[in-house]
Amino acid sequence: MASSTKKSVLIVGGGAVGAIAALNLEVGGLAHVTLALRSNYNAVNEHGFDIKSCDHGRVQGWKPSIIRDSIPDITKESLPPYDYILLCTKNIPDIPPTVVDLVTPALPRINTHTTLVLLQNGLHIYRPFLESHPQTLVLSAISMIGSEELSPGKIIQDEGDKLIIGAFPNLNTNPSTSAAKCFIKMYKNGGKTDCKLGEDVLHDRWRKLVYNSALNPICAILGLDTGRLRLAADGEVVEHLVRPAMQEIVDAAKANGVLLDEGVVQKMIDADPLQSYLSPSMLVDVKKKGNFLEHENLLGEPLREGKKMGVEMPTIKMLYYMAKGIQWRTMEGRGLVEIPPKDV
C-alpha cells in the first residue's frame, strides 16, 4: 500500500478540508494517501482537483496517490491496515450512517495498528469510538482554515491552513504523543502549513466552540456571512446575539473546569477580516447545498454540558432548537420524515 519510507493514510471525505489535507500530506512526501470521495468522485476521477490556494498557489488536475468512491473494506479486499485514517466528513450523529458505521470497514473493531484522526468540529466527538473501537488511539485535529468547494472538485482556499493535533483521552490506549507527533511531521513536512501539537484537547475544542457554536448557526439562520453579520443593524446583532452566545460557551467551559483566555469572545468576533465576507460552513450547507447540519456536536453537546453544571444558556438553547427545526425541514425535503396529510 505504501513504501517503507511513507505512512499509509486513508482520508475519508474530500471536500474543501479533506482535499487540502490530502494535498498537504502528499506534498510533504512522507505519506501515501488514499482519498475516499462521495459526491465529487466522478469529477475528481476524470479531471482531478482544481485548487486555488493561498498556501499552495494554483494546482490544476491534481490527484492523490489513490482515489476511491467508497470506503475500503480491508478485510474483504485483503488490504493491510492503514497507519492513519483521517476522518474529514461532517459529523452528524442524528443522520445515518454514523461516523462509526462509516469508518468501520477500514478500521476493524479489534485494532491495535491504525490511528484514527478526527478532523471534525464539536465536543465529545470521540466518545462513540470508545465503545466501538476501545483499543484504537483517537487523535483530535482542530482546523482553522478558510476553504470552500465551489463545485465538485473545484476548491478555493483563501485562509491559511492551521491544524492542532492532540490525543483524546482513552484509558485503554497509551497516552503517548508519539502518534500525534508523527502525524504532525507528515502534515507540515512540505512547509506549506502550520501544524502543531495540542497539549490540552478539551481546552482547544471548547475554545473553537466559542466561534463555531455562535457564528456558524447564527450566520446559517440569518443567511448572512460573518462580515455582513458584524455590519447588521450597526453592530447590534453582534452585541445582542453573537456576543451572548459566545459568552455562554465560555461560562459552560469554565463550569466544566476549562478556563479560556481572557478576551476570547472579542477575538472570535474579529477572527475573520470583516471584508473577507466569509461564509461559515453551516451557512454554505443551508444556503447553497441544502445539507444536514452539525448542530448536535456544535450546540447540543455544550448545551448539555452546561445544563449538567447549572449554567443557563438561553441563547445557545434557542439556536439549538432553531437548528433542529432546519434539520427537520431538510429531512422532510429528502423524504426522511412522514407528516400527516393536509386536511381537505
> Which is more confident, 290 or 288?
290
Reported as a single tens digit per residue, the pLDDT across 239-257 is: 999 999 999 999 999 999 9
Task: Indicate the average pLDDT of the chain.
Answer: 95
Q: What is the pLDDT of residue 176?
A: 67
Reported as a single tens digit per residue, the pLDDT across 139-162 is: 999 999 989 999 999 999 998 999
DSSP-derived letter for residue 150 is E
Note the Cα 340 to chain centre separation in Å. Answer: 36
Please report which helix (H) or strand (E) contains residue 12, including its range.
strand 7-12
The domains located in the chain, with CATH, are 7-199 (3.40.50.720), 204-331 (1.10.1040.10)
| Terminal-residue alpha carbon distance, the chain | 62
Q: Which sign does the torsion angle of CA 263, 264, 266, 272 carry? A: positive
Tell me the pLDDT band of 4, cut-offs 50, 70 and 90. Answer: low
CA distances (Å), origin 130, targets 30, 121, 133: 29, 18, 6
Q: What is the DSSP string of 47-74?
A: H-EEEEETTTEEEEEE--SEEESS---T
pLDDT at residue 232 above 60?
Answer: yes
Reported as a single tens digit per residue, the pLDDT across 40-98 is: 999 999 999 999 999 999 999 999 999 999 999 999 999 999 999 999 999 999 999 99
**What is this structure's pTM?**
0.94
What is the total residue count of the chain?
344
pLDDT at residue 275 above 80?
Answer: yes
> Per the structure block, which three cell numbers stand in for 64?
492523490
